[in-house]
Structure 1
Amino acid sequence: MTMAKTSVHYYKNTNGPTIGVTVKPVIEKDGLYFRDLTGDGILSPYKDWRKSPEERARSLAEELSADEKIGMLFVNSWKMGIYQEDKSKVDESGLLNEEIVEKDESIFNVEKTYGTTYTLKEMGIRHLILRQNPRPEELAEWVNQLNQVAEASEHAVPVMVISNSRNENGEMVFGMNDAAGVFAAWPGTMGIAAAVKGSGLGLIDDFASCIREEWDSVGMKKGYMYMADVVTDPRWQRTYGTFGEDPDLVCRIMERLVPGIQGGSDGVTPEGVAVTIKHFPGGGARENGFDPHYAQGQWNVYQTENSLQKYHIPAFQTAIDKKASSIMPYYAKPCKDKSRPQYDRKGRQIEMEPVGFAFNQAFIQGLLREQMGFEGYVNSDSGISNKMAWGVEMLDIPSRIALAVNNGVDIISGSLDVFSAREAYERGKNGYYTTMGHPVPDGFTAEQLTLSDEALTRAAIRTLREKFALGMFDNPYRCPDKAAQVIARKEHWDAAYEAHQKSVVLLKNAGNVLPLTKEKLSGKRIYVECFRADGEAAAKETEAVRETVEKLVRGNVEMADGSAREGGDICLTQTYLDADYALLFISPSSGEYFNATKGYLELDICEDKEVADVDGEGRPADTFHRETTLCGAGRIREISGAVRKRGGKVIAHINFTLAWEVGNVEPSADALLAGFDTYTEAVLDVAFGRYAPSGKMPITLPKDDSVIRVDSTGVCISPNDVPGYDKDLYMPQEMKDGNGKAYAYRDSQGNYYELDFGLSYEG
């Protein structure tokens, strides 16, 4: 098949959409152009862009075969041909990966995967997740090529390419932020929250507009973003992908972010990008931080009465009110035995059925749809039909698929198993549980475990409606050169960089050591060192940051002959022993995202610390292991002692991806800055007075291990379902200080590092 970019033809409607085709004809009627999706020359309702997305979706769903609808039930990660080393396993365009993998295993699933063309044409798959990081023009060309293959199929149902967020700086993590550095890179989402708290919500409008324009330019029309989850247990690995612990702030962000990305307040638009808000009904209520990607984290625990409605549900309601296109339920299941009563929107106690939320009728059909008014579609998290089928492990895969769809899931992520879905469909036709005599698993009915035409059609209508509203059926093609131009726009990158500056929080400034003006630095020596959990990575970062600092403080000016004239009498020193100022950049790391740790996720900034293991029930064990969140953590105190001994000052910056315990850093620092995957250059802008600090903390930092201690029964002293700012309501009275506070860290200046805290240079 030829390259889509050379075969696409556009037809402009004066007062309607531009029509884009490659292999199918167009229909001309009433002086207008329509995309002939079937090539039969008939202007069926679903081909007519003058009709509503709902009308078009219902019209097409009635015509699709069961196999076509089954293909639209699934989405999984997919690889581009340009990254395939064996070029015999790509199509003639070089864009599509045609490799067959007999046993393709991920953390979510194990299944056989086929080449792209077979997957689209024969299996009917129409949703793919991109986790690679191509250039904009490469991405646009790939999306175009996928859609050219799809256009050649019977009904030309377009391909939806989906990704996790791509517009934040930080370490790329599979399943969270799949890419970085190609699209305009804003700070991490907690950094965006910190910036909004200090500078206002206008930043969200710029952020959303940037995302919408960039994603639409490459034809990537849906994102698994953003998290409406509120952080309530600080040991949750996914903390860094949230907007923090303040439900009201997350609501206000959703109020502007959802319509900003989707293109309007009434849902998605042809110029917009659909959002999938996650992870309903709130993933923050982790049991002592355990993540549901592994078995210990399969429970959502609500230790305080009605915390679900007080903290976890409000932001989802805001997103729904703003017509979020889809919602993603979490893997976890509610735990009745460890929870206090939780209530629905009508004040009735919720039945805490111990099955994953994607299978949970009370939460999906009852709470989400009937009470909260959600009208979009439900996109499950990856792996619910295979490795993360919490609460329904006793069912086989076809039954899990059927149960999820029957209970309201419209797309199952982490699998392309159309074969098992077809089996679930056939079981409803061939009397698998009746005439064939197979036993129905206890607690279920045959109807729940078989796929009906009604359920398939309902799911198809919901997902087709989104594609029609996005304009994908009229023109799924994009210009690669224009995509590169859009993503290179200076205004996007400038707005992102200013957000980095605004995200920096000044936590401590003893003796007004900051800003480091030229007067303060005159004749002084500066020492720079970076710290990470990986010592080798820290050493490389140190060299890079030293170069950046040197350019800032020495004021290098390029001469006409290409040489440089150095200004000032400030110098960097290779040793802290003769330093007047030490700049320390501290980036801790704890645990592995998709793997359980031997104990609870470590929040202390430490090296080789002895901590307790946990047993199979998640309780502290009698055995121990050692944890390091920062290689060389003890050097911080050593450097501080030497610098301060000779009258110098220490300025430290901590990158917060979790709510770190800062007791091993703060006493050693005269000034302390907080960032959230914030550019080092932006942190230096604040430190050197080029930008006044304005950020405010989006989370509360726990004082030390004592306030997140877990007793022998597995119960945390501070409830897992309550945000940091409210944890003192439940802390033992004997732990509270004279101000009635026990949970938040208090520094040597008397300030509590809690939600909304942040100093300025003015006072």
Structure 2
Amino acid sequence: MLPYKNPELPVEDRVTDLLDRMTLPEKAALICHSRMTAGPIGDLPGDLFPSSEELISERGITHFAMMAVPDPVTMATWNNHVQDLAAATRLGIPVTLSSDPRHGWASNPATAHSGGGFSAGPEPIGLAATDDPDLVREFAAMASAELRAVGIRVAFHPMADLATEPRWARISGTFGEDADRAVRMIEAYIAGMQGGTGIGPDSVACMVKHFPGNGPQAGGEDPHFAYGRDAVYPGGMFEHHLRPFDAALAAGSAQVMTCYSIARGIGVREVGASFNRELLTGLLRGRFGFDGVVCTDFNVVTGMEIPGVVSLPPRDWGVEDLDDVAKTALVLNAGADQLGGESDPGLVLAAVSSGAVPAERIDEAVRRILRDKFRLGLFENPYVDVDAAAKLVGASRGRELGRRVQARSLVGLKSAAAPVAPARIYVENIDPVIAAGYGEIVSAPEDADLALVRLKAPYDKREGLLESAFHAGSLEFPAEEIDRLRTIAERVPLAVEVYLDRPAVLTPIAEFATVLAGGFGADDDLALDVLTGRAVPPGVLPFDLPRSQRAVEESRADVPFDTADPLYRCGHRCPRA
């Protein structure tokens, strides 16, 4: 038995032995954290992406972010397929599969995914709304077990960004505006996902993101796009935004993902964080003492091309004039170990052969990457039990826990005495089959005893496949929508629940709604229990709800609780709770 294959040896000894056996091309391949789409054994029709055989057997890449995850049986079977490919390579380095969140309600091709048969809770902002670290730890442990069952071993979560800019499109993935609560939730989440302060065979390794913080985005725009490249600190609160990352690292987060944005006005070079040595080596490695894997957010060197579907430029903010090899060298020398979304090891090889990146820096990165593969137990058993995955993922225990967390996350904003067991109900955006259990459904508000409406927080629609998935812009409902809802309220008592993926301006609705609640992803019956008075919503508001769009525009992006005279304060609970 070769030393690196001997599970009786210390991890560091095994890493050293394998590192010494690797060629430079094999090391370069390990630095690429590519993408993959699972399916029936085979690849996507039309060869939209390089095949798994090419990526693993020919290029030697062994890290893949799963884009589309099918049913548990197909996903588990796919994991075993790619592990077979990896086992047949010269050194047999197993594949590590990673993923964005898959246990919530959001569906954004770049950030979060619903479906795949996983047990759904609320979005992470809803976990914060439970204000219950023990429940969050339990939910994260369930999610970890389901991910492991299908072969996913690295989580691109939690997000440690603070929701201080109400317009930001990624707020639903955060733990809110209150840094103290975010710290408690992050600690609990990492403990549940990893199973303790370190990682092992029963862990999904957390990759906390987006260092050093995407929360204070200028105008609330997202740095996936050039118009959202700037993070700003007009209130001088940069250190405040580091608090959740400090907590995540202290809790043992195995890995860190950088942010795209340029931190403006904090006294460091104004380039994207992936290219910034002061932030990665000076702050993250030096001050915080982090020695785990640092991966860039995806495609900071090259863009993403899906022929006939989409062509996206690189998110190389601040270094757009550099060629790809120079950008690769800058990333590696800044302190990042992996290139998120990149599938060409030749970039790393060229950076080394040019003399821009020393071979020792490559060994340093590869050592960290191999260390996590060993700690996760992938060299001992990278395969999963397909039948066990089918039984575990989405099973009743997980679904019931997810629903329990959904119910705990619902927040009562305004509540009066709702009609008890209304005979006739008018509903909008609610499954009529489920609504039928709450009364006779009528087609017009004036014929009802109670109107029950579920809404989504407003946003400005953007053009573009990816842009349209990011809800940014105004937080106010269009005037015509407010008039329409007011007309309903004039005819019948109106109960409204709003899906708050961002802190919507609810001021006019609060004036005429009898019942007003906020949600972060919940099944229809759970929302209806709240709207009809069958249940008292126990959740705690995880951010301020601004009184107006003007108040948002006049606030400082990096300062928490900075909108003037908010309609509801962070920490608000149901008046009847």
Shorter-chain TM-score category?
over 0.9
Aligned pairs for 1:381-530 within 5 A: 381-386=297-302, 387-428=314-355, 450-510=356-416, 512-513=417-418, 516-518=419-421, 521=422, 524-530=423-429
Contact 2:110 2:466 in 1 (8 A): no
Residues 702-735 of structure 1 deviation map (CA, whole Å, 9 limit, x = unaligned)? 11122123xxxxxxx2111012x2x16xxxxxxx
State the partner residue of 1:177.
112
Q: Displacement of 1:760 after TM fit? A: 4.5
Q: Displacement of 1:692 after TM fit? A: 2.7
Matched, 1:640 2:543: no
Please point out which of 656, 667, 671 is paired with 2:500: 656
Please point out which of 310, 316, 327 is paired with 2:245: 316
Shift in CA distance, 120/636, structure 1 to aligned 2, threshold 3 Å: same
Shift in CA distance, 495/574, structure 1 to aligned 2, threshold 3 Å: same
Q: Displacement of 1:686 after TM fit? A: 2.4
Residues 444-480 of structure 1 deviation map (CA, whole Å, 9 limit, x = unaligned)? xxxxxx2321111111111110000000011101110
State the partner residue of 1:576.
445
Matched, 1:333 2:262: yes
Please point out which of 471, 474, 498 is paired with 1:602: 474
Please point out which of 206, 220, 226 is paired with 1:275: 206
Matched, 1:143 2:79: yes
Q: Displacement of 1:675 after TM fit? A: 0.5
State the partner residue of 1:739.
none
**DSSP 3-state at the match of 1:121:** helix
Q: Displacement of 1:552 after TM fit? A: 3.4
Aligned pairs for 1:84-99 within 5 A: 94-96=41-43
Contact 1:302 1:721 in 2 (8 A): yes
Aligned pairs for 1:130-209 within 5 A: 130-168=66-104, 170-180=105-115, 182-196=117-131, 200-209=132-141
Aligned pairs for 1:642-721 within 5 A: 642-643=491-492, 649-709=493-553, 717-721=554-558
Matched, 1:549 2:435: yes
Contact 2:458 2:476 in 1 (8 A): no
Shift in CA distance, 181/473, structure 1 to aligned 2, threshold 3 Å: closer
Shift in CA distance, 331/118, structure 1 to aligned 2, threshold 3 Å: same
The percentage of aligned residue pairs carrying the same residue is 29
Runs (5+) with no aligned partner, structure 2: 303-313
Partner Cα distance (1:324, 1:52) in 2: 21
Aligned pairs for 1:9-408 within 5 A: 43-82=1-40, 94-96=41-43, 100-101=47-48, 113-168=49-104, 170-180=105-115, 182-196=117-131, 200-265=132-197, 267-305=198-236, 307-310=237-240, 312-336=241-265, 342=266, 351-386=267-302, 387-408=314-335
Q: Displacement of 1:418 after TM fit? A: 1.7
**DSSP 3-state at the match of 2:413:** strand
Residues 389-445 of structure 1 deviation map (CA, whole Å, 9 limit, x = unaligned)? 1111121001111110121111111221222222222222xxxxxxxxxxxxxxxxx
Larger radius of gyration: 1
Q: Report runs of 4+ in structure 1 exceeding 6 Å deviation.
A: 596-600
Contact 1:605 1:664 in 2 (8 A): no
Matched, 1:756 2:576: no
**DSSP 3-state at the match of 2:435:** helix
Letter of the structure 1 residue corresponding to residue 410 of structure 2 = V
Partner Cα distance (2:388, 2:156) in 1: 24
Partner Cα distance (2:39, 2:437) in 1: 41
Q: Displacement of 1:99 after TM fit? A: 5.9
Letter of the structure 2 residue corresponding to residue 418 of structure 1 = P
Partner Cα distance (2:458, 2:20) in 1: 51
More helix by share: 2
Matched, 1:722 2:544: no
Report which structure shows greater RCO (CA 8 Å, sep ≥6). 2
**DSSP 3-state at the match of 1:394:** coil
Residues 198-254 of structure 1 deviation map (CA, whole Å, 9 limit, x = unaligned)? xx2211121121012111111211111110110111111111111111111111112
Shift in CA distance, 375/597, structure 1 to aligned 2, threshold 3 Å: closer
Partner Cα distance (2:9, 2:203) in 1: 19
Q: Displacement of 1:178 after TM fit? A: 2.4
Letter of the structure 2 residue corresponding to residue 245 of structure 1 = E
Residues 355-385 of structure 1 deviation map (CA, whole Å, 9 limit, x = unaligned)? 1111111111111111112121101001111
Q: Displacement of 1:607 after TM fit? A: 5.5
**DSSP 3-state at the match of 1:221:** strand
Letter of the structure 1 residue corresponding to residue 371 of structure 2 = R
TM-score between the two structures when normalised by the length of structure 1: 0.71
- Please give the root-mean-square deviation of Cα atoms over the aligned residues, in Å: 2.1
Contact 1:163 1:178 in 2 (8 A): no
Letter of the structure 2 residue corresponding to residue 469 of structure 1 = R
Shift in CA distance, 476/597, structure 1 to aligned 2, threshold 3 Å: closer
Partner Cα distance (1:469, 1:117) in 2: 26
Q: Displacement of 1:81 after TM fit? A: 4.0
Partner Cα distance (1:598, 1:678) in 2: 20
Q: Displacement of 1:597 after TM fit? A: 12
What number of residue pairs does the alignment pair up?
563
Shift in CA distance, 688/181, structure 1 to aligned 2, threshold 3 Å: farther
Q: Displacement of 1:492 after TM fit? A: 1.5
**DSSP 3-state at the match of 2:542:** coil
State the partner residue of 2:307.
none
Partner Cα distance (2:344, 2:407) in 1: 46
Q: Displacement of 1:688 after TM fit? A: 3.7
Contact 1:97 1:116 in 2 (8 A): no
TM-score between the two structures when normalised by the length of structure 2: 0.93
Shift in CA distance, 181/743, structure 1 to aligned 2, threshold 3 Å: farther
Residues 630-662 of structure 1 deviation map (CA, whole Å, 9 limit, x = unaligned)? xx443101111122xxxxx21111110111011
Partner Cα distance (1:411, 1:99) in 2: 29
Shift in CA distance, 211/288, structure 1 to aligned 2, threshold 3 Å: same
